[in-house]
Structure 1
Amino acid sequence: MKYDITIIGAGILGTSIAYFLSQTTKSKVLVLDQAPKAGFHTSSRNTGKVHAPFLYDPEKKRIFAKSAHLGFEMWETYCKQKNLPFKKDGVLEVALDEPGITRLEKYMLWGEQNGLEKDDIVLLDGTDVKKLEPEVSCQKAIFCKRDASVDYGILTEYVMEDAKQNGATFLLNTRAGHISDRKDFLEIKTNRDTIKTGFLINAAGGMSIDIAHQMGVRTDLTDIYFRGEYWKAGPEYQSLTKTSVYSVPKHPEYPFLDPHWIVRSDGRCEVGPNAVPVFSPYGYTLSEDMKKMPSKVLEMLSSGAAKILFDSQFISLALGELLSSLSKTVMINQVREFLPKVDPKKFKKRGTAGIRASVIDKDGKFVPDVVIAQGEKSFHILNYNSPGATGALPFAVYTISQMKDRGLVKIEQDRCGQWSFEKISEMLGK
């Protein structure tokens, strides 16, 4: 089996790249994924929010912020076309103390720099918050109207079907193993067959660093996995708020976010996620996690991540996240700080946990923005986390545009569904 371009990863990003490649180029495109369905892992195990870009530093997370801003309108257009839910419910970001208020003021500035209009976002005091959401208690809050709820798992499946109709091939339940450079092509050994490809795009999420390292790319980086867990609210809480409510993170330099109150596109409410460090990108169970622990610990000890392991604040925060995993009361009590009516006893069932990978550089620092690394016949998309689903469609255009600029792909057709490839590329500021 021989293809022009092979994408490893049928999550929402890999599938979106296939969608645009299949419509704008004449390339023979293949997407590989070891999961049984597209979007099986992180893409369908998140909060389902289409995030407004006020949370993202326009310098440190420039690409994420621009993609999130464009992604809102693109997902709204796509959902209308497919008659899928796109619930424009807005979001509250609440501050409970003075440092939190200072952070909100910074978020307001970032939102403006990232393209939000004045009508999109407003800073409210506690009294005005009560008028909007009577059950929420805080000192101040940002209310952003340009925020929505969707089901990214379903969206991924629809995007995959569109890509297939335009000629892309998807091989699910197919694990990419050893990748060899055969001078004129790459050879990918899988559990099914051997695939030849002219070019490889690594959009493998939690496995992306491992694939990059196998090909000798960005060996200075490593990653740590975090499992985000949820608790489902009982039916008595279904109308507690109209919007999802987030609190300002106490330690924004680390990937530990305090649990949120989430109102999903279908009206279900949940508390989560926490961020429990695990050793496997598929560490949903203790047995899977322990199986990967020895090799992952050795990898971390021989990289910049070793500094994280001896960072006392990181260890303290990680232990707190572990405690929130063991005790639903600990997790839900964090939400009670701004939503005092919730009672841990009313939460009977766990939600669906998801796992994301955060990349660490050689100095032991978490990398804030997405990393695109190029090999001789490959592109590697690393550290693609939140708001990754929000920006997946425009970021797919960004990736292909980068390939076009390097002469790796030729754009034959500008129109792709409702959009112009060149216009999106220009708006992203290549």
Structure 2
Amino acid sequence: MKSDITIIGAGILGSSLAYFLSHMTTKKVLVLDHAPRAGYHTSSRNTGKVHAPFLYDPQKKKLFAKSARLGFTMWETYAKQKNIAFKKDGVLEVALDEPGIQRLEKYMSWGEQNGLDKNEISLLDSSEVKKLEPEVVCQKAIFCKKDASVDYGILTENIINDAVNQGVTFLPNTNAQNISDKGDHIDIHTDKDTIQTSLLINAAGGMSIDIAHIMGVRKDLTDIHFRGEYWEAEPEYKDLTKTSVYSVPKHLEYPFLDPHWIVRSDGRREVGPNAVPVFSPYGYDISENVKKMIPKMLEMLSSGASKMLFDSQFISLASGEFLSSVSKTVMINRVREFLPKVEPKKFKKRGTAGIRASVIDRNGKFVPDALVEQSGNSVHILNYNSPGATGALPFAVYIISQMQNAGLVKIENDKCGLWSFEKISQTLE
């Protein structure tokens, strides 16, 4: 099988790349994924929030922040066209102590730098919070109107279907087992066939580091996988709040977020996610983790992640996350700090768990922003996590723009679906 451009990974980013490429080039585009459908993993196993960019340092997370700002409007436009739920319900970010209040003040500054208007975001005291959400207890909170709830799984399926209607070939249930760079082309050896492609785009999410390593790219990096779990609230809690409620993370240098109170686009309420270290990007159950434990541990011990494994604070935090995984009470009690009316016994059903990967450099530090690495005729998108779904559409345009500048693709049509390629590119500069 031959292709001009092959994308590994049909998550929300890989599907967005296929969508734009199908509109802006005449090249033959192929997307492959080991899963049975697009967006099967992280893209449909998340909080479903379209995040406002006040949480992202405009310097350390510059790409994420810019993409999130533009992504809100783009997803709203696309959802309206497709008649998909886009619930503009806002979000509360609450502080329970003085360090948390200081962090909120920093977030307000970031939000302004990242383009949020004053009428979109405000810092409230406890009495103002009570007027907005009577059941929430905190010292101060940010209320951001520019935050929404969606089903990213449905959005991803629509995006890939639009790409297919534009001529893209989608191969589900296809696993890339080995990759050979032949210089003038790349051979992707799958469990079914060999695909010969002129350009490879690695958008494999939790497998992106593994794909990069197969091709000898960024072997100085590794990743740790974290499983985010949820508990679904009983219907009696449906009117407890109108908005999702997040609390300020206590340990900013680690990807451990205290569970949130989540308002879903379909009306469900959930508590989650935690962040339990696992050994596989598909480590939803014990058997998968046992199978991948030894090779993953050997990889980590031979990389910068070894410093993380012997860091006492990381071990302590990871142990706490494991405890929240085995104990529903521990997890729900974290939310009770700001929503005291919730009771663990009223949560009887687990939500759908998702897994995200965080990249670690040779110094044992988590990489804060997305990485895009070019090597010959391959492009690798690494460390693409939250708010990755929010910014997937504009970030896909950014990647294509970078590939155009490198001479890897030629844009033949500025009209990319509902948007102008040039206008989006200029906004992201």
Residue segments in structure 1 that go unaligned for 5+ positions in a row: none
How far apart in 2 are the matches of 1:420 and 1:333?
A: 47
In the alignment, which residue of structure 1 is the partner of 2:264?
A: 264
Deviation at 1:27, TM superposition (A): 1.2
How far apart in 1 are the matches of 2:392 and 2:44?
A: 13
Deviations 1:262-314 (A, max 9, x none): 00001100000000000011000011011100000000000000000010000
CA RMSD of aligned residues (A): 0.4
1:227-306 paired onto structure 2 within 5 Å: 227-306=227-306
How far apart in 1 are the matches of 2:54 and 2:27?
A: 37
Deviation at 1:28, TM superposition (A): 0.6
1:35-46 paired onto structure 2 within 5 Å: 35-46=35-46
Give the 3-state SS of the residue equivalent to 1:117 in structure 2. Answer: coil
State the one-letter code of the partner of 2:146: R
In the alignment, which residue of structure 1 is the partner of 2:13?
A: 13
Deviation at 1:184, TM superposition (A): 1.7
1:56 aligns with 2:76: no
Deviations 1:11-40 (A, max 9, x none): 000000000000001111000000001000
Deviation at 1:416, TM superposition (A): 1.4
Deviation at 1:176, TM superposition (A): 0.6
Which 4+ runs in 1 deviate beyond 2 A? none
How far apart in 2 are the matches of 1:312 and 1:167?
A: 52
State the one-letter code of the partner of 2:60: K
Deviation at 1:7, TM superposition (A): 0.3
Give the 3-state SS of the residue equivalent to 1:75 in structure 2. Answer: helix
Deviation at 1:389, TM superposition (A): 0.2
How far apart in 1 are the matches of 2:295 and 2:345?
A: 39
TM-score (ref. length: structure 2) = 1.00
In the alignment, which residue of structure 2 is the partner of 1:72?
A: 72
In the alignment, which residue of structure 2 is the partner of 1:337?
A: 337
1:208 aligns with 2:216: no
Deviation at 1:418, TM superposition (A): 1.5
In the alignment, which residue of structure 2 is the partner of 1:408?
A: 408
Deviation at 1:183, TM superposition (A): 2.6
Deviation at 1:377, TM superposition (A): 1.1
How far apart in 1 are the matches of 2:272 and 2:418?
A: 34
Give the 3-state SS of the residue equivalent to 2:201 in structure 1. Answer: strand
In the alignment, which residue of structure 2 is the partner of 1:222?
A: 222
Deviation at 1:206, TM superposition (A): 0.5
1:14-163 paired onto structure 2 within 5 Å: 14-163=14-163
Seq. identity, %: 78
Deviation at 1:363, TM superposition (A): 0.2
Deviations 1:175-206 (A, max 9, x none): 01110122321011111111000010000000
Give the 3-state SS of the residue equivalent to 2:116 in structure 1. Answer: coil
How far apart in 1 are the matches of 2:323 and 2:355?
A: 17
Deviations 1:352-380 (A, max 9, x none): 00000000000000000000011111000
How far apart in 1 are the matches of 2:27 and 2:109?
A: 42
Give the 3-state SS of the residue equivalent to 1:54 in structure 2. Answer: helix
